[in-house]
Amino acid sequence: MAKFNKIQVLKAMSNTGMVPVFYHKDPEVAKNVLKACYEGGVRAFEFTNRGDFAHEVFGELVKFAARECPEMIVGVGSIVDPATAALYIQLGANFVVGPLFNPEIAKVCNRRLIPYTPGCGSVSEIGFAQEAGCDLCKVFPAGNVGGPSFVKNMMSPMPWSMIMVTGGVEPSAENLTAWIKAGVTCVGMGSKLFPKEVIAAKEWSKITELCKDAFSYIEQARK
């Protein structure tokens, strides 16, 4: 079962402004990355369902977070069907993210009061997702469907919207400032936050520093 309630999850994402997006088949690597992010100020972490036995790694990660990173909210990403969402919820997922919008996933998550953040590529998709009870919608792939200007223009007629952007997000002052100024609630960041060479060398402290830098850019952009 989820450790954190819906309001706590959405508040953590909104307050920090960034949700790391990560997958690795080795549980120990995943644990070290999560810990490094936690030390860098991350409080909501998305582990993606992208490999064989990913749910087994996720189960270990949730248990590890409960012991070593008690304030970390662990959720799952890359979910496209309700059965997989239910599996991860049973393993302790506090939120569910997907690259697309599936109303059946919304039903599963709503039943347990777990945030479902679906991927949307148009204003209509965002509207349909909101009708289905999705508080936070993900614009994906954000860099390909219009970038910050899409978010800014969409927010004008729909200012109540809470938006996460993933795809085309980088841990740089220029990039993060553009997204924050456009009106996003938070950003989802993957490969740019976890350089392959850093993971291979197990230089976990560099990930912590990248997280700290990203948060400083977000904080500055919000002023």
Domain count, the chain: 1
Residue 56 lies in a domain: yes
Residue 80 lies in a domain: yes
* The pLDDT value given to residue 183: 98
3-state secondary structure 1-54: CCCCCHHHHHHHHHHHCEEEEECCCCHHHHHHHHHHHHHCCCCEEEEECCCCCH
Residue 1 lies in a domain: no
* The pLDDT value given to residue 123: 98
Residue ranges for the chain with pLDDT beneath 70 = none
* The pLDDT value given to residue 122: 97
DSSP-assigned states of every residue in 105-169: HHHHHHHTT--EE-EE-SHHHHHHHHHTT-SEEEETTTTTTTHHHHHHHHHTT-TT-EEEEESS-
* The pLDDT value given to residue 58: 98
CATH code of residue 197? 3.20.20.70
Residue 82 lies in a domain: yes
Q: Can you give the residue range of the structural domain that contains 79? A: 6-222
* The pLDDT value given to residue 87: 98
Separation between Cα atoms, residue 6 and residue 115, nearest integer Å? 6
Q: What is the largest CA-CA distance in the chain?
A: 47
Residue 159 lies in a domain: yes
* The pLDDT value given to residue 154: 97
Tell me if residue 90 falls in helix, strand or coil. helix
| DSSP conformational letter for 186 | E
- Whole-model pTM? 0.97
* The pLDDT value given to residue 99: 98
Residue 23 lies in a domain: yes
pLDDT tens digits along 129-172: 999 999 999 999 999 999 999 999 999 999 999 999 999 999 99
* The pLDDT value given to residue 171: 95
Residue 90 lies in a domain: yes
Residue 138 lies in a domain: yes
